[in-house]
Amino acid sequence: MQTAVDKTLDIQQIRRDFPVLDQSINGKPLVYFDNAATNQKPLSVIGALTNYYEGYNANIHRGIHHLAEKATAAFEASRRAIQQFLNAKHWEEIIFTYGTTDGINLVAQTYGRRFLTEGDEIIISTMEHHSNIVPWQMLCEERGCVLKVIPVDDNGELILEEYEKLLTARTKFVSVVHVSNALGTINPVKTIIDMAHAVGAVVLIDGAQATSHVDIDVQALDTDFYVFSAHKLYGPTGMGVLYGKKALLDDMPPYRGGGEMIKEVTFEKTTYNEIPYKFEAGTPNIADVVAVKTALEYMASLGKENIAAHEHDLLQYATAQLSEIEGLRIIGQAKDKISVISFVMDGIHHQDTGVILDQLGIAVRTGHHCTQPLMRRFNIAGTTRASFAVYNTRDEIDCLVQGIHRVKKMMS
């Protein structure tokens, strides 16, 4: 089934770039709709990993032999590519982490421990992933800070009027998700950042779900920190990024101790390295860092605006089709969304829905999606979530609709 967008992107050709899609599950062609958890990897990214291990596997930075120099060059080339991807002002502002969760914990345990004290207020939102709740709770317990929460309306949008009321002279830190993993809501992060800065607060944006769907410009946003994971933008797992403004990173203490993050060590005193290396102790995840540059190049070759347009077409089509199913209710009706649809069905548990769909070869995510407070806000235990990527098609959505009718028939 062709659309205007499909004429720009050859979706069938793109699908051939992703070998994992060419398989059957329980005798049915795989329909992969779990992209908000992780998306699949193109051959070029898989090839970059293989090329590293086959061609120049070596530890980086301190070696003078050819393989070490080649690995170091490829590793640092990824840092420069990510700087460009985010439009960061300085390459030193790009810190490699193990993922979004690791980046948030790094900020909480370094900036938070150094600069936040008893009575200081931290603001998060109702729609946060547990990874952007628990680190701040831990910090509050340790430092005596106060955690405040921005409420969400029935459409799954943040209530900015209530956010404004939460902001006080005691507000020292705001940490908010750019895009909800459970609802697909795109939050007005520029407004949130500006309002926080107006009271002198520092801001972290969780970009885990945003980077493959919307343009990111950290200078235009004026965010203090931005975190994301490679595996949700067609890159490898186990690799993430923390962007931080240079002045803030310079003032933050190291997160871990070990090799690379030091200049000189004696038994009496250690002198720490400059950023970014101050936060990158030990042998890093070299192969996956190298491969993320290839993932960014793959997305650029398709055009991020083309990817977004195709995914938006899928979102609109799926929303229209699913809305016609009796007893199905979509959770999260924000005006501005990425390609995520969460839904519940009358009298049918989301886990049963997921199991039956899996029998039909359709991969969806079920449960609370690590957003239990958000689920409680909507008075539900969890949802079934279908999330789309560039290689998905309208025909696959038709399969999902047929599968849901099968669920209803089996559970009636």
Clarify whether 140 is annotated catalytic. no
Q: Letter for the amino acid at 95?
A: I
- Which residue reads 């540059």 in tokens? 293
Q: To 10 degrees, what angle do helices 394-411 and 304-323 make?
A: 30
Closest residue by Cα to residue 361 from 39, 41, 27: 27
Provide the 10 A C-beta neighbour count for residue 142. Answer: 13
List, in sequence order, every beta strand (DSSP E) within 92-206.
94-97, 121-125, 146-150, 171-177, 202-206
Provide the 10 A C-beta neighbour count for residue 246. Answer: 14
Contact 387, 339 (CB under 8 A): yes
Is residue 49 exposed (0-12), middle (13-18) or buried (19+ Cβ within 10 Å)? middle
d(C-alpha 236, C-alpha 229), whole Å? 9
Distances (CA, A) of 23 to 12, 119, 149, 273: 15, 55, 44, 48
Q: Which residues contact 323 (CB under 8 A, 6 or more apart)?
A: 330
Per-residue tokens: 308 = 């977004």
| Sheet containing 171-177: order of strands | 94-97, 240-244, 225-229, 202-206, 171-177, 121-125, 146-150
Per-residue tokens: 204 = 């972290």
Q: Which residues contact 411 (CB under 8 A, 6 or more apart)?
A: 347, 348, 352, 356
Provide the 10 A C-beta neighbour count for residue 256. Answer: 12
Number of H helices, E strands in the chain: 15, 17
d(C-alpha 246, C-alpha 89), whole Å? 9
Contact 210, 181 (CB under 8 A): no
Q: Which residues are catalytic?
A: 370
